[in-house]
């Protein structure tokens, strides 16, 4: 039976003028809407007490398992406002399914897909005024997450878990650099995840593990890091929080195959699906670092980009590592930006939703 949601409206909601000031320059992940969703789970009762509540701090016991053993998973999706004012989600069932995959890996309970989508729908409906006009590329970023909230320091799967959904109005993730081309630091020293590890789960621990490489990248003027599987030192995986693609001069669109250490991105899957419409041949392959960097040097790969819900598609201008620097031949990113527009046009309702990816909320 699906959950029903109790709605407790905030008495401290921002005024129209305050909200307008935030939406004028939302940034990314700094401002949050007036409400949040909370659903509790215990081993005895299953999922219960679903509610939309005023946004605010969470009270947890200091011994809550999540603080000690990182039993936590999350999701990321967006709500888009179309020109007629209606509000839509993009493939939320993929996020619902992936949360379950992540839950399996981290020994957290399955939240039924219908309840996941309903939780998101409830929040977006109550906070609909926070979904910005498209205005270039604005949206409401939605962050569902699940934590082991049971107060217990023993090592086992938590028997008390809480699921939340919060939302944040978002502008362009990398600012203007998002379409101007970013530089990528290549590391085979640090791993964000390993074989048999949690790389295919969307969990905070993978991000904590990626930060040291990310900061090494910053020191070399790079915005993001590309991880190479460090045991064999040759298999290209992905970035800290985004998948990666290369485009060859003859129109192949190649991304590393899903090996269990890479996150199965919704944007990645959507790009593979629309590729043919843009005259590109999608391929999921094992890619070695030498093949990628050598291919850039030889002119085989002329464009590269990274992708994820937050940043959509960001063209890559070049790669750097301790061993050298590689610039992509094509710095106007024609095909990358074509793919970017194709995805954005579907999300914002500017082109026909031929794959049935949009779900109307409001
Ligand atoms: C979320 C995420 C992505 C992108 O997934 P999308 O579903 O496209 O947003 C890629 N890699 C990692 C590690 C991620 O956490």
**pLDDT tens across 156-196, in order?**
999 999 999 999 999 887 776 678 899 999 998 999 988 89
Interior CA angle at 92 toward 87 and 93, to 5°? Answer: 140
Residue 256 Cβ inside 6 Å of ligand 1? The answer reads no
Please give the pLDDT value at position 117.
Answer: 98
Which residues are within 8 A (CB) of 332 and not within 5 positions of it... i.e. 6 or more apart? none
72-74/46-54 β-pairing = unpaired
pLDDT tens string 122-167: 999 999 999 999 887 999 999 999 999 999 999 999 999 999 999 9
Ligand 1 centroid to Cα of residue 113, in Å, is 19
Ligand 1 centroid to Cα of residue 263, in Å, is 6
pLDDT tens string 37-68: 999 999 999 999 999 999 999 999 999 999 99
Task: Give the residue extent of every domain in the chain.
Answer: 6-170, 177-347
Spell out where 130-242 has E strands.
Answer: 139-148, 160-170, 182-187, 224-228, 236-239
The separation between CA 284 and the C-alpha centre of its own chain, rounded to angstroms, equals 20
Cα gap 132→105, rounded to integer Å: 35
What would be the CATH architecture of the domain defined by 177-347? Alpha-Beta Barrel (3.20)
Cα gap 153→156, rounded to integer Å: 9
The fold of 6-170 is D-amino Acid Aminotransferase; Chain A, domain 1 (3.30.470)
52 has which bridge partners? 7, 37
Residue 255 Cβ inside 6 Å of ligand 1? The answer reads no
Cα gap 29→21, rounded to integer Å: 16
Q: Write the burial class of residue 46 (CB in 10 Å: 0-12 exposed, 13-18 middle, 19+ buried).
A: exposed
Cα gap 105→123, rounded to integer Å: 27
In the block, residue with structure tokens 């791993």: 191
Please give the pLDDT value at position 176.
Answer: 66
Ligand 1 centroid to Cα of residue 267, in Å, is 8
Give me the residues of the chain with pLDDT under 50, please: none
Q: What is the pTM of this model?
A: 0.97
Residue 144 Cβ inside 6 Å of ligand 1? The answer reads no
Residue 201 Cβ inside 6 Å of ligand 1? The answer reads no
């Amino acid at each position: 039976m699906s959950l029903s949601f109790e709605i407790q409206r905030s008495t401290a909601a921002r005024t129209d003028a305050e909200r307008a000031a935030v939406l004028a320059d939302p940034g990314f992940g700094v401002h949050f809407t007036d409400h949040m969703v909370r659903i509790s789970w215990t081993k005895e009762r299953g999922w219960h007490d679903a509610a939309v509540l005023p946004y605010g701090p969470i009270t947890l016991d200091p011994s809550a398992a999540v603080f000690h053993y990182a039993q936590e998973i999350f999701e990321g999706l967006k709500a888009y406002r179309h020109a007629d004012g209606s509000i839509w989600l993009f493939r939320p069932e993929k996020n619902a399914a992936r949360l379950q995959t992540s839950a399996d890996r981290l020994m957290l309970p399955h939240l039924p897909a219908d309840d996941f989508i309903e939780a998101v729908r409830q929040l977006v409906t109550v906070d609909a005024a926070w979904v910005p006009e498209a205005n270039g590329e604005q949206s409401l970023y939605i962050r569902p997450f699940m934590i082991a909230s049971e107060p217990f320091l023993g090592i086992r799967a938590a028997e008390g878990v809480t699921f939340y959904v919060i939302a944040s109005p978002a502008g362009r993730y990398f600012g203007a650099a998002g379409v101007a081309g970013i530089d990528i630091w290549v590391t085979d020293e640090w791993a964000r995840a390993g074989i048999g590890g949690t790389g295919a789960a969307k969990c905070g621990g993978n991000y904590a593990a990626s930060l040291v490489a990310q900061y090494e990248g910053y020191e070399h003027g790079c915005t993001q890091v590309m991880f190479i599987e460090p045991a064999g030192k040759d298999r290209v995986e992905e970035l800290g929080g985004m998948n990666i693609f290369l485009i060859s001069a003859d129109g192949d669109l190649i991304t590393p195959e899903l090996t269990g250490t890479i996150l199965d991105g919704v944007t990645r899957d959507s790009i593979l699906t629309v590729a043919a419409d843009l005259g590109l041949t999608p391929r999921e392959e094992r890619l070695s670092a030498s093949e990628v960097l050598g291919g850039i040097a030889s002119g085989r790969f002329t464009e590269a980009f990274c992708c994820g819900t937050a940043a959509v598609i960001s063209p890559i201008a070049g790669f750097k590592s301790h061993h050298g620097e590689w610039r992509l031949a094509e710095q106007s990113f024609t095909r990358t930006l074509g793919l970017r527009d194709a995805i954005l046009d579907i999300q914002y309702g500017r082109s026909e939703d031929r794959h049935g990816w949009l779900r109307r909320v409001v």
